Amino acid sequence: MLRSLGASARSGGPAVQTISPVDAHAVDDAYIIDVREADEVARARIDGAVHIPLGELVSRVDEVPRDRTVYLLCAVGGRSAQATQYLAAQGVDAVNIDGGIVGWYRAGLPVTTSAD
């Protein structure tokens, strides 16, 4: 189920839509963008997720689909919330995965680790 969080007082931006990891995993053919750094993704990742580090998102925004919902993920949800807010302002249907990859893992969902 999608939730909408009010914008933080510091950001002053629009509300950020969120979704639980379980609900995001249940979306058929979900387009997930992982905004973590390369070393973080190397340690644990979701198969099929597209890696665009947060620091590169602005310069790579043309790679983000405009014709479907995009789900954003980071470690625990802070950076992906920023990315979600930015993409929403660009007209993208963007949704933050609540709790990031930590929440995904804690929900028992599949994660590929460097040990795999």
Distance from C-alpha of 81 to C-alpha of 50, rounded to nearest angstrom: 16
Catalytic residues: 74
Assign 1 a pLDDT band (cuts: 50, 70, 90).
Answer: very low
DSSP SS3 for 72: strand
Q: Domain count of the chain? A: 1
* CATH (domain of 80): 3.40.250.10
Write the pLDDT tens digit of every residue in 3-40: 444 444 345 566 799 999 999 999 999 999 999 999 99
Domain residue limits at 13: 2-113
- What does pTM read for this prediction? 0.88
- The SS3 assignment for 47 reads coil
pLDDT score at 115? 75
